[in-house]
């Protein structure tokens, strides 16, 4: 006879003793609308305010943790909106975790999975808050709880997404001048392909050949448009093309990848580990974009990275315009990965008019620095949150 399964609601006695005073007393969620410095355009929307759900978890020991879920213009980039995230957290995830120890990360992830299917952004925000509270309790950075950091900083990419080539060229030159960014991701898909290519040509001519350019089509092209216009991207020495066709058209993306000498970055086409394996096996791309909003948790995002790497995909640290709170959570996991070939694009804190923390993440010499304080290493700015919190 096999050994009986251990009920996740009843950890063994030594574990119960270790988890003393780390029970989850309360979970709260707040919707925040933070203004951005400029319009940020995608193929299907544009934002001037970035929507977040801030999750706060209070433990019996009095320690609190903060996590963040990010969206882009509502349920357009993915299924979740700030309103649905708030409802999922308060009505389903919070009751499932009430009274449980914050230290049992895997057991809590199972509880959340039983309480709500997918809802990845909501789960990711809750788990980030749990790691923040646990790290503060133990006096350890979140990266230590995720396996230990192998890097303290990483190259950071800036996105150009206003659609105005003159404005974007000046923006990029300023980033270069201040040694903040030397790699740029150009958002495509909200104009006709010919117009986007003219814009890209202006940026390449103005920035020179030494600057690495990435193009994000945001599912904005058809396969036939890829056949027609990808050669022009090759001529302009584009280093990477992100999700050129619909996320639902894996076969089309695989055919585009076979035709292209530029590697494709798989983003919206794969969220869960099984989806990553399928997209990689079909040859949909050579690089995978890691995002907490796609994985539903920091531990699960590390597993997503392992699946992608096992299928030969290089790794790219994606973002969804997070503040320093969400960026810190991502960086805690990115810091522990054995490989992160393309660095990260966590520029979100710098596109906000005002960040949501008192100690924003530090950028230095074209790199972003991993916070080294306990938990996520950032402290919420209560005044900013009150100012931007959505009124009931």
pLDDT, tens digit (0-9, with 9 covering 90-100), for 227-284: 999 999 999 999 999 999 999 999 999 999 999 999 999 999 999 999 999 999 999 9
What is the mean predicted confidence (pLDDT) over 339-350?
97
How far apart (Å, rounded) are the C-alpha atoms in residues 220 and 201? 19
Q: Which structure tokens are listed for 293?
A: 């909003």
Is 322 part of any domain?
yes
Question: What is the span of the domain harbouring residue 296?
Answer: 145-388
Residue 12 pLDDT more than 60?
no
> Domain boundary residue among 82, 108, 139?
139
Shared domain check, 324 and 241: yes
What is the mean predicted confidence (pLDDT) over 349-356?
95
Q: Answer yes or no: pTM beyond 0.75.
A: yes
> Domain boundary residue among 139, 157, 192?
139
Residue 4 pLDDT more than 60?
no
pLDDT in tens, 39-89: 676 655 677 789 999 999 999 999 999 999 999 877 877 889 999 999 999
**DSSP letter for each residue of 96-163:** HHTT-BTT-HHHHHHHHHHH-SS-HHHHHHHHHHHHHHHHHHHT-BHHHHTT--S-SEEEB-EEE-SS
Residue 6 pLDDT more than 70?
no
Instruction: Sort 204 into a burial class: Cβ within 10 Å, 0-12 / 13-18 / 19+.
Output: middle
pLDDT in tens, 317-341: 999 999 999 999 999 999 999 999 9
> Domain boundary residue among 112, 139, 166?
139
| Res 268: pLDDT | 96
Shared domain check, 346 and 203: yes
- When divided into structural domains, the chain yields a total of 2
How far apart (Å, rounded) are the C-alpha atoms in residues 390 and 342? 36
Shared domain check, 183 and 44: no
Q: Is the dihedral of CA 195, 238, 257, 310 positive or negative?
A: negative
Shared domain check, 115 and 151: no
pLDDT in tens, 117-144: 999 999 999 999 999 999 999 999 999 9
Shared domain check, 222 and 133: no
Q: State the average pLDDT for the chain.
A: 93
Active site residues: 187, 345
| Res 269: pLDDT | 97
Is 4 part of any domain?
no
């Amino acid at each position: 006879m096999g050994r009986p399964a251990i009920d996740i609601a009843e950890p063994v006695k030594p574990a119960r003793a270790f988890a003393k005073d780390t029970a989850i007393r309360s979970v709260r969620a707040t919707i925040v609308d933070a203004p951005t410095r400029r319009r940020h355009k995608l193929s299907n929307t544009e934002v001037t305010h970035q929507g977040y759900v801030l999750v706060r978890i209070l433990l019996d020991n009095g320690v609190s943790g903060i996590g963040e879920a990010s969206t882009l213009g509502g349920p357009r980039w993915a299924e979740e909106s700030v309103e649905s995230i708030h409802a999922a957290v308060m009505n389903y995830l919070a009751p499932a975790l009430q009274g449980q120890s914050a230290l049992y990360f895997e057991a809590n992830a199972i509880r959340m999975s039983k309480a709500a299917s997918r809802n990845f952004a909501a789960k990711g925000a809750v788990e980030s808050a749990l790691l923040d509270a646990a790290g503060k309790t133990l006096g350890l950075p979140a990266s230590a709880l995720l396996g230990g950091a192998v890097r303290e900083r990483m190259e950071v990419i800036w996105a150009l997404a206003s659609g105005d080539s003159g404005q974007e060229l000046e923006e990029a030159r300023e980033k270069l001048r201040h040694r903040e960014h030397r790699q740029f991701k150009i958002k495509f898909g909200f104009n006709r392909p010919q117009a986007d290519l003219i814009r890209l040509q202006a940026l390449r001519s103005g920035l020179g050949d030494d600057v690495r350019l990435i193009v994000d089509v945001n599912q904005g092209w058809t396969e036939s448009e890829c056949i027609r216009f990808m050669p022009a991207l090759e001529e302009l020495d584009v280093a990477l093309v992100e999700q050129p066709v619909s996320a639902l058209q894996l076969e089309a993306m695989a055919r585009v990848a076979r035709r292209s000498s530029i590697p494709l970055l798989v983003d919206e086409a794969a969220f869960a580990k099984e989806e990553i394996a399928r997209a990689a096996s079909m040859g949909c791309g050579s690089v995978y974009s890691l995002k907490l909003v796609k994985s539903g948790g920091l531990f699960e995002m590390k597993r997503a990275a392992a699946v992608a790497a096992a299928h030969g995909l290089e790794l790219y640290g994606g973002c969804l315009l997070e503040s320093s709170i969400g960026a810190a959570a991502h960086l805690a996991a990115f810091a522990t990965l054995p490989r992160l070939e393309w660095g990260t694009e966590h520029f979100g804190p710098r596109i906000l008019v005002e960040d949501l923390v008192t100690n924003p993440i530090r950028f230095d010499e074209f790199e972003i620095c991993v916070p080294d304080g306990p938990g996520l290493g950032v402290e919420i700015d209560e005044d900013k949150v009150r100012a931007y919190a959505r009124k009931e």
